[in-house]
Amino acid sequence: MAKFGAAAGAGVFAVSLWWFDPPLEESTRYPAGVALRDRTGALLRVGLGPDDQDCRPWYRADPEDWVVQALVASEDKRFWRHHGVDVLSLLRAVRQNVTTGRRISGASTITSQAVRLITPHPRKLRWKYVEAFQAMRLEMAMTKLAIIEQYLNRAPMASNLVGIEAGAMGWFGKPAKSLSLGEAALLVGMVQSPSRFRHDRNMAAALRRREYVLGRMLALGLITDAQKQGAESAALVVRRAPRPFEEPYFADWAQSSLPRAGGDYTTTLDPGIQRALARRVDERAADLGCSAAGVVLDVRTGAVRALACSGDYFADGEGQVNAALAPRPAGSTLKPFIFASALDRGIVAPAETLLDVPRHFSGGFSPVNFDGGFRGRVSAAEALVLSLNIPFITLVSEVGLVRFNGTLHALGLDTVSPSAQTHGAGIAVGNADVRLLDLANAYATIARGGVHTPPRALESAEPAVGPRLFSEAACWLVSDILSGDARAQGAVGHIAAAKLPRAAWKTGTSAANRDAWTVVWNPEHVVAVWCGHKRGNFGDESIVGIAAAAPAAWEVMRDLYPSGDAPWYDRPADVV
């Protein structure tokens, strides 16, 4: 009979162990919001998760960390030796509870508590049974350190803080691995009852609990008596640290492109380039008394390395208007795309003569150049360099308004009307709205030889290879015509004495001097700058592409290549 009972018990054990699956799928989900990092891993933003919980589940356990030693000492001293259930603690708890007739102690292990944190459930006897077998299965599926991480990344830390990383940053303003012995013991002690041991409300109880944790660490030989006394006597500096909220204009855009509402993402933002761009944009806005914005793109991948707007994000009124994403009249910035389209269709060649003479169009449209004059007979290349209006109105008509409108949309300039008739030939002089980020990425298509790639916010994402919109030869010709030291030195003023990196560049100014644009590019980077007023309903004489935006764009290009040495394109074989 005894043998039968033992066999039956073993059978029940085996079936239960097989039946109760560990919560592996659930272990990948946390009550966390979005975390955004720059490409070096530094945090830009930490959002709140469900029920406004601040959970930052990226702590990685190390046996030498104070929080790990404090947790094992105070919650489960045989954690490193048992297999999910501590039989000795279980027998002790049963004996104490039976002899006293009430619950004196429990036998929960760190692993079983991790199961409960992963899949919350009532503390009923049935659930204790399930929890035990799930804990054993979890030990089979995970390493000990992974189980510690599950526990510490989910443990409540009072207030709305969940997990040791949120607790360490929220209460002490430092990462979990930087906690002192006393700080680690205080937070680990809080886990048993976050409301009762919350130090900002009941410091005496919190310190008594910390003393218990430190005592357990001393008893297990994890710390010395001197370390314990030092931790207890050290001043406890408690301060609620705000959640990271860096580079808000870039972070807003990056977050809007995420595939889901939560997760830990490394973005394409380069902190060094971002600082340089933000400094130049702020300086330009201060000098001109207006707003400014800038974008820097990586040509090869489409990665947005920097995106900055002048001014205070939290200012009333226009503070949170992202000028890099606001549609504004394009001015002359679309002319290089007209030129490339005309080259590819055999409509024009750089040396071909075009007419820059007065013309009158239907609807009373009689355009003039920016300076009010006309040049007469000019080469196509000269018309591009001087940004002459009449030759480009002629060229876009010959390319075809519908065809060119389709090209602009293929370039990602989605704020241009889908109907070519909306803008007509006036598209050549900038009567369509574009966004700075989209414009920079459109120029990146020329910079990479005609292949379009969407702008990218996440470092982990593979660059999307889009369609070829222009030939390599047309792109090389556009870049070559719009580059050269003489052109660059005419725009950069006081920095012209330094060696400038070779780059192509194009400016634009919208009607009534409301918007100033400049885009500078080479095979590696596109730098785009906009200057104007966010309201957009007025302008002033200082808001001119070459005078307002060009100096800032070239300053950023100089920041990217401080020695003045930069790559340039090889001439395509079919360009003679």
Of the residues 89, 112, 291, 332, only one is catalytic, namely 332
Q: How far is CA 85 from CA 71, 111, 125, in A?
A: 16, 8, 15
pLDDT in tens, 409-428: 999 999 999 998 889 899 99
**pLDDT of 4:** 46
SS3 track for 499-557: CCCCCEEEEEECHHHCEEEEEEECCCEEEEEEEECCCCCCCCCCCCHHHHHHHHHHHHH
Of the chain, the percentage scoring pLDDT greater than 70 comes to 89
Give the number of C-alpha atoms closer than 13 A to the C-alpha of residue 194, restricted to the C-beta side: 14
Active site residue 332: yes
DSSP assignment string, 231-272: HHHS------PPPPB-SHHHHHHHHHT-SSS-EEEEBS--HH
- Positive or negative, the CA dihedral 554, 556, 558, 561 is negative
pLDDT band at 20 (very low <50, low <70, confident <90, very high): low
Place of tokens 């920079």: 440
**pLDDT of 124:** 63
pLDDT above 50 for 354: yes
- Kindly state the average pLDDT of the residues 316-342: 95
Full set of structural domains in the chain with CATH: 21-233 (1.10.3810.10), 247-328+434-576 (3.40.710.10), 334-429 (3.40.710.10)
Q: Are 449 and 480 in contact (CB under 8 A)?
A: no
pLDDT in tens, 180-213: 999 999 999 999 999 999 999 999 999 999 999 9
**pLDDT of 5:** 47
The better pLDDT of the pair 10, 55 is held by 55
- Kindly state the average pLDDT of the residues 370-380: 87
pLDDT in tens, 513-541: 999 999 999 999 999 999 999 988 777 88
pLDDT in tens, 471-511: 999 999 999 999 987 676 666 665 555 678 999 999 999 98
pLDDT in tens, 536-546: 877 788 898 89
Of the given ranges (176-190, 273-287, 357-371), which has the lowest mean pLDDT?
A: 357-371
pLDDT above 80 for 351: yes
Active site residue 75: yes
- Kindly state the average pLDDT of the residues 313-322: 92
Q: What is the DSSP letter of 337?
A: H
Task: Please state the φ and ψ torsions of residue 167, each to the nearest 5 degrees.
Answer: -65, -45
Q: How far is CA 406 from CA 136, 337, 388, 399, 429, in A?
A: 61, 12, 23, 11, 17
Question: How buried is residue 81: exposed, middle or buried, by Cβ count under 10 Å (0-12/13-18/19+)?
Answer: exposed
Six token digits for residue 32? 């966390």
Of the chain, the percentage scoring pLDDT greater than 90 comes to 73
Q: How many residues does the chain have?
A: 576
CA 49 – CA 243 distance, rounded (Å): 13
Task: Please state the φ and ψ torsions of residue 266, each to the nearest 5 degrees.
Answer: -95, 120
Structural element, H or E, at residue 57: none
pLDDT in tens, 216-248: 999 999 999 999 999 999 988 888 888 999 999
Per 3-state DSSP, what percentage of the chain is helix, strand, and coil (rounded to 5)?
Answer: 45, 15, 40
Of the residues 75, 149, 183, 555, only one is catalytic, namely 75
